[in-house]
Chain A
Amino acid sequence: MPVVATLSLVAQAADLGQVRQFIEGATEMLGLDSETTAHMRMAVDEAVTNVLEHGYHNQPGRLELNICREQTDVIIYLSDEAPVFDPTQVPPPDLSIPAPLRPPGGMGLHFIRQALDELQHEALPDGGNRLIMIWRNVAPEA
């Protein structure tokens, strides 16, 4: 599967803007529309935020983002070296409870799920995680 763009960095929260800019650059290169770009920016920002907060406990940690294209699908891989954690197993928030009556927070994963078509997780053989975020039929025909 052709890799369109890669970003590798030892990240902390201050790098979130750089991560979003990387996504915006890649979606422009792929010719994606603004709606899809907004979804990808949000999903990746939230996923990276989760890794930095819960995986690396707000300490700098290694991240790699790979953006791949397979025909009209776009797949973003987010790899880290944090303790293994599978976000696909986290139950969704109870949205029947209005927002102000729920505890603050806990919406990041909901936003990720809302923004993409498919979310997968792999535990890496040497430790760490790979989150696979898939958008179907969003890229123009090559």
Chain B
Amino acid sequence: MAAPLNITVSEEQGQVPITVFHVAGDIDGSSYETLRTEAASAYEAGMRYLLLDLAKVKYMSSAGLRALHNIFDMLNADISAEEQKKVARGILDGSYKSPYLKLLNPTRDVQRTLSTAGFDMFLEIHNKAKAAINSFTQP
């Protein structure tokens, strides 16, 4: 059996308040809803900046990407229509990286999944927690 998805949450104060999800286990068709639900609950509680620590995720399927996409959309939902247009333009020309959702330490297999789907084009991937925390700024 795969390890059940376990998410522990910590809070960090950088230039903005950052929620860190330390995720452990496989993110697949049986567990991606857990990630999505946890993120939605945190968002309801006021979370606006999320760092996903993926160091202990050995495997992520396209279901995991679906969860990341949903979380990306959720965190971008508050911005104005004008900003949304700018984001779309930035995504199209490859210059946009989400200021709200970032990834920390994905394993090699997870990194490959992210890049195959083009998720590394709009999500920053950090290898050091401190640098990741410091990279969050008010957009």
Contact = CB atoms under 8 A, between A and B. Distances in A.
Contacts of A111: 61-62, 113, 116-117
A98 B92 CA distance: 6
Nearest to A98: B91
B81 to A, nearest CB: 15
Given A98-B121, A107-B117, A52 B29 contact: yes
A42 B61 contact: yes
B45 interface: no
A104 B91 contact: no
Contacts of A128: none
Contacts of B116: 110-111, 114
B1 A17 contact: yes
Given A99-B121, A99-B122, A100-B69, A16 B92 contact: no
Interface in B20-75: 26, 28-30, 59, 61-63, 65-66, 69-70, 72-73
A27 to B, nearest CB: 14
A10 interface: no
A45 B27 CA distance: 11
Given A20-B2, A107-B65, A111-B62, A49 B117 contact: no
Interface residues of A, number: 29
A38 B116 CA distance: 14
Contacts of B118: 95, 98-99
Interface residues of B, number: 30
Nearest to B67: A104
Contacts of B121: 98-99
Interface in B85-124: 88, 91-92, 94, 109, 112-113, 116-119, 121-122
A14 B30 contact: yes
A61 interface: no
Interface string A33-67: 00000100110011001001100000000000000
Nearest to A111: B62
A17 B122 CA distance: 29
Interface of B: 1-3, 26, 28-30, 59, 61-63, 65-66, 69-70, 72-73, 88, 91-92, 94, 109, 112-113, 116-119, 121-122
